[in-house]
């Protein structure tokens, strides 16, 4: 579909998580109404949407209701069934296209796509059965076994140091198709958020340097502490991937930076990304506003960053008195907000669980060192490990 979806129209969203919540508020600020399809009665997006359709993503009646209501639809997580997007695309503009989502949903298809378009990746092998899991090449060990589907935040992954551990990891994942990826001697991990329209107009945001803890994003540092040449190359890789996909929407490309200076595409997320949350407070246009703009056929917004930023993830662990306690209490938000350039975002989730993303804090400052100092102080005050490693 071509043309503009004017403010006042309904936009549809598949998924009710925090990314959807931030999409809703961005869309509503531009004058749109949002209908969320999600089975959870207390989903973060559903509680702020103009309408919440409580149903499974493949519920035919719910999809029919959504398609009658909305002029355009998008998704807030990559594991939404591609069939749901295909159905909606018969009646409404849908971004991203179902074909792009299907590639990003499956690590095997994703690796094959990147290989076919000559984007460098870490050495890997596909494990489809027990025989392949027992016959891995030595240069892939030590490595990581990753489930082909439904893996995120460190789930569906296992580090392996021997062929026997590869076979055991494959069995532990239910004998489902996996990818064995060689471990890379990493200097750091970075990500690039890209937005691309149906006409091929493309913008990207500054490169984020990402630190993980227990497989979950802990901190994003923007701009990344890499050379301008490497940052430029990372942005060109992400833009090239979006072009090769003929992508429409917001796309995150995660990359490894090896100690010998190579950039290796790790994976892509066909949606806004946790590492792009800094764009809400630090950039002219956030990744969520851009998602609305692409979906509605509006011109892309400026992606310039106002000042350096460090985003700190707030997991449910912060709500517990100590690592061994079962007692849940409200964190001391005054300790966060005493820093005048700390921007607190809580996602409205009623139950705090260890490892669950409950919110984030973006620390802004005139210099990156000052933003890092604020992030370290907040991590210490909230009892988040790793403040000294930034």
Domains and CATH numbers, the chain: 10-94 (3.40.50.20), 123-182 (3.30.1490.20), 186-389 (3.30.470.20)
Write out the two tokens for 55. Answer: 């149903």
Confidence (pLDDT) at 138? 86
Pairing of strands 51-53, 33-37: parallel
Kindly indicate the confidence band of residue 150, based on its pLDDT and cuts at 50, 70 and 90: low
CB under 8 Å to 292, separation ≥6 — which residues? 11, 23, 26, 27, 30, 32, 298
Largest CA distance in the chain: 59
| Mean predicted lDDT score pLDDT of the chain | 94
Q: For 200-212, how does the pLDDT look when each residue is reduced to its tens digit (9 = 90+)?
A: 999 999 999 999 9
Kindly indicate the confidence band of residue 246, based on its pLDDT and cuts at 50, 70 and 90: very high
- Say if residue 259's pLDDT is above 70: yes
Span of 46-60, 63-77, 132-146, 242-256 with lowest mean pLDDT = 132-146
pTM: 0.95
Confidence (pLDDT) at 371? 98
* Mean pLDDT, residues 39-56: 96
User: What element of type H or E holds 214?
Assistant: none
Kindly indicate the confidence band of residue 136, based on its pLDDT and cuts at 50, 70 and 90: confident
* Mean pLDDT, residues 103-107: 93
């Amino acid at each position: 579909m071509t043309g503009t979806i004017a403010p006042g129209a309904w936009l549809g969203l598949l998924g009710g998580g925090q990314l959807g919540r931030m999409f809703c508020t961005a869309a509503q600020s531009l004058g749109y109404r949002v209908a969320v399809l999600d089975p959870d009665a207390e989903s973060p997006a559903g509680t702020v949407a103009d309408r919440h359709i409580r149903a499974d993503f493949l519920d035919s009646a719910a999809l029919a209701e959504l398609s009658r209501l909305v002029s355009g639809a998008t998704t807030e997580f990559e594991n939404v069934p591609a069939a749901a997007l295909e159905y909606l695309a018969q009646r409404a503009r849908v971004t991203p296209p179902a074909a792009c989502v299907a590639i990003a949903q499956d690590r095997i298809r994703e690796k094959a796509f990147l290989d076919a378009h000559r984007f460098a990746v870490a050495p890997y092998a596909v494990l489809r059965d027990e025989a392949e899991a027992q016959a891995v090449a030595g240069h892939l060990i030590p490595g990581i076994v990753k489930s082909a589907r439904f893996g995120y935040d460190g789930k569906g992954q296992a580090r392996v140091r021997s062929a026997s551990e590869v076979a055991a990891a494959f069995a532990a994942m239910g004998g489902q198709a996996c990818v064995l990826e060689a471990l890379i001697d990493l200097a750091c991990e970075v990500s690039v958020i890209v937005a691309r329209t149906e006409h091929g107009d493309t913008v990207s945001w500054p490169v984020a340097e990402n630190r993980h803890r227990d497989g979950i994003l802990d901190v994003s540092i923007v701009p990344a502490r890499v050379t301008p040449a490497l940052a430029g190359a990372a942005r060109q890789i992400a833009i090239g991937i979006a072009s090769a996909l003929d992508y429409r929407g917001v796309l995150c490309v995660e990359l490894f930076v090896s100690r010998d200076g190579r950039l290796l595409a790790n994976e892509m997320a066909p949606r806004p990304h946790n590492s792009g949350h800094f764009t809400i407070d630090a950039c002219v246009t956030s990744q969520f506003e851009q998602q609305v703009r692409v979906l509605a056929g509006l011109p892309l917004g400026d992606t310039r960053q106002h000042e350096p930023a460090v985003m700190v993830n707030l997991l449910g662990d912060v709500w517990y008195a100590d690592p061994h306690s079962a007692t849940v209490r409200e964190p001391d938000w005054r300790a966060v907000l005493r820093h005048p350039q700390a921007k607190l975002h809580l996602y409205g989730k009623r139950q705090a669980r260890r490892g669950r993303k409950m919110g984030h804090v973006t620390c802004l400052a005139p210099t990156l060192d000052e933003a890092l100092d604020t992030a370290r102080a907040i991590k210490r005050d909230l009892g988040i490990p790793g403040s000294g490693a930034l």
